[in-house]
Amino acid sequence: DGGITQSPKYLFRKEGQNVTLSCEQNLNHDAMYWYRQDPGQGLRLIYYSQIVNDFQKGDIAEGYSVSREKKESFPLTVTSAQKNPTAFYLCASSGLAGSETQYFGPGTRLLVL
Amino acid sequence: AQSVTQPDIHITVSEGASLELRCNYSYGATPYLFWYVQSPGQGLQLLLKYFSGDTLVQGIKGFEAEFKRSQSSFNLRKPSVHWSDAAEYFCAVGRPGAGSYQLTFGKGTKLSVIP
């Protein structure tokens, strides 16, 4: 079955630690996204990528980094510079046009120890 | 830039009752419109979308939505709610001619269902 996988489901971060969230898709989509979701805030775009080896900052990129070495993979690193990382992180993918549906993974919940 | 407003943060309905979730957008032309649903601790699933044509759109799970240009609205409806419909619902707006990354989400409406 085609879809998007995210791992781990839960992730714990210690102070000063960088952690990486995994996102893989087998939908052959060109575009991939990372969103942060906080209660009552909706979804906020962190980073997006429309092609391998290229990515762009979204609305809240500070304290995060990404890479896109393969079309199928778009990992997100939450760095120690992100002072309030506790949130639910969603990865999505789609075609490139504005009419394309974004398909979402199951999410990763990041908690700070 | 477009914006999306979901005026109701939380709605409670009885099982079997009808449902309408409101979504208003600001954009000069006809946008692309989406409704997604999210169960607790899960990702988002597309319910339906509107690009053009018939303004009444049918989706999965018995949901429908109507695009009203004069009211800049895209309200989601279901004639009879089931307990399994309890979830959070998000309206989203995209702009024709823009990239898919320019999708704007509303802040969501949480639906509770009383058995």
Interval A26-71: pLDDT, tens: 999 999 999 999 988 889 999 999 999 999 999 999 999 999 999 9
Q: Do B105 and A43 touch (CB under 8 A)?
A: yes
What is the sign of the dihedral through the CA atoms of A9, A40, A45 and B7? positive
Confidence of residue B52 (pLDDT cuts 50, 70, 90): confident
Give the mean pLDDT of B40-44. Answer: 93
Structure confidence at residue B60 (pLDDT): 96
CB contact under 8 A, B41 and A50: no
Interface of A with B in 15-34 (CB under 8 A): 31, 33
Quote the minimal CA–CA distance from A107 to chain B in Å. Answer: 6
Q: Is A94 on the interface with B (CB under 8 A)?
A: yes
A86 backbone dihedrals φ, ψ, rounded to 5°: -65, 115
Higher pLDDT, A14 or B15: B15
The predicted structure's pLDDT at residue B88: 97
pLDDT score recorded for residue A35: 96
Residue A45 half-sphere exposure toward CB, CA atoms < 13 A: 21
Q: How confident is the prediction for chain B on average, in pLDDT? A: 93
Considering only residues A87 and A42, tell me which one the structure prediction assigns the higher pLDDT: A87
Mean pLDDT, range B23-35, rounded to an integer: 89
| Residues in chain B closer than 8 A to A105 (CB atoms) | 43
Percent of chain B whose pLDDT exceeds 70? 100
Determine the average pLDDT of the residues in B15-29: 93
Touching A: B residues 78-97, CB under 8 Å? 90, 94-97
d(CA A39, CA A23): 22
Please compute the mean of the pLDDT values over residues A62-81 and round it to a whole number: 97
Q: What is the pLDDT of residue A1?
A: 62
Q: What is the mean pLDDT of residues B91-98?
A: 84
**Alpha-carbon distance B15 to nearest alpha carbon in chain A (angstroms):** 25
- To the nearest whole Å, the CA of A90 is away from the closest chain B CA by 7
How many Å lie between the alpha carbon of B101 and the closest alpha carbon of chain A?
Answer: 7
A20 pLDDT more than 70:
yes
pLDDT confidence of residue B87: 97
pLDDT of residue B4: 94
